[in-house]
């Protein structure tokens, strides 16, 4: 399979039924996805509260999916160890919430996990540039974080395109993820921008047939990616990391 034209779809458990997480995991596995996105909200960095490390630990016991944990919290450095102990495969935190971001990235990687960093719509790519040599994943928020079911802010995809250019120009190997308003109607734009990991919440869990949605998204992504002459070489760089 050509990894340069097939995205990683990561359903966001935030949109699942918390009273029946086991069924949500089965839904993901039956839809042939390999990642699960775990949105951790603290009620401070974003308005809502979601769950803590125990939820991640309980999910870890019940699935082999790659657990992609996204900390939308203040002081992420205080929380990262507990989520790594819980079994997170990747931990992404917000640049806006952490003073010593380089130190935290290195600590995550020392524990054997993938280290990611995220920015909200109001933060420019330039704020991230000093950290790009040290990250495994960059998550661009395409909505203002804190609530599911929002419409994508398409201008945020310009950041993905810019990061793709920087990655190619400087030989980096981080992967590019987008989170917010990703569905069958917006995946073409995300693919052309260069996103390789697509976080999907309500579009997945509220669908009558999530597996069909995943197939449709992958198909549309592949067509859009093939139509973009700059996509294949850029995505090939990220594909070297594998589609875990």
Structure tokens at 44: 């401070």
Q: What is the pLDDT of residues 40-80, one digit of tens each?
A: 999 999 999 999 999 999 999 999 999 999 999 999 999 99
3-239: CATH topology is TIM Barrel (3.20.20)
Q: What is the pLDDT of residues 227-241, one digit of tens each?
A: 776 665 455 544 544
Confidence band (pLDDT; 50, 70, 90) for 147?
confident
Helix, strand, coil distribution of the chain in percent, nearest 5: 50, 20, 35
Measured between alpha carbons, how far is 141 from 126 in angstroms, rounded to an integer? Answer: 15
Secondary structure tally for the chain: helices H, strands E = 9, 8
- pLDDT of 148 reads 72
Tell me which H or E stretch contains 157.
helix 157-170
Per-domain residue ranges of the chain: 3-239
- Single out the residue of 180, 186, 227 nearest to residue 10, CA to CA: 180
Residues tagged active-site: 39, 179
């Amino acid at each position: 399979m050509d990894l340069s034209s097939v995205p990683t779809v990561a359903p966001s458990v935030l949109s699942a039924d918390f009273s029946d997480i086991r069924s949500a995991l089965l839904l993901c596995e039956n839809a042939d996805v390999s990642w699960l996105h775990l949105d951790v909200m603290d009620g401070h960095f974003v308005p809502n509260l979601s769950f803590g490390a125990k939820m991640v630990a309980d999910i870890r016991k019940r699935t082999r999916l790659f657990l992609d944990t996204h900390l939308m919290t203040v002081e992420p450095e205080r929380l990262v160890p507990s989520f790594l102990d819980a079994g997170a495969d990747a931990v992404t935190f917000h640049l806006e919430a952490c003073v010593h971001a380089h130190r935290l990235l290195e600590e995550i990687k020392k524990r054997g996990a993938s280290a990611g960093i995220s920015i909200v719509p109001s933060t420019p790519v330039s704020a991230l540039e000093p950290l790009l040599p040290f990250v495994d994943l960059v998550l661009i928020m395409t909505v203002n974080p804190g609530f599911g079911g929002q419409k994508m802010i398409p201008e945020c995809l310009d950041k993905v395109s810019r990061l793709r250019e920087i990655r190619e120009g400087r030989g980096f190997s981080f992967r590019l993820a987008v989170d917010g308003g990703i569905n069958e109607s917006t995946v073409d734009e995300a693919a052309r921008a260069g996103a390789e990991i697509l976080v999907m919440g309500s579009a997945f869990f509220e669908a009558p047939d999530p597996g069909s949605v995943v197939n449709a998204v992958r198909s549309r992504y592949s067509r859009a990616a093939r139509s973009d002459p700059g996509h294949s070489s850029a995505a090939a760089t990220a594909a070297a990391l594998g589609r875990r």
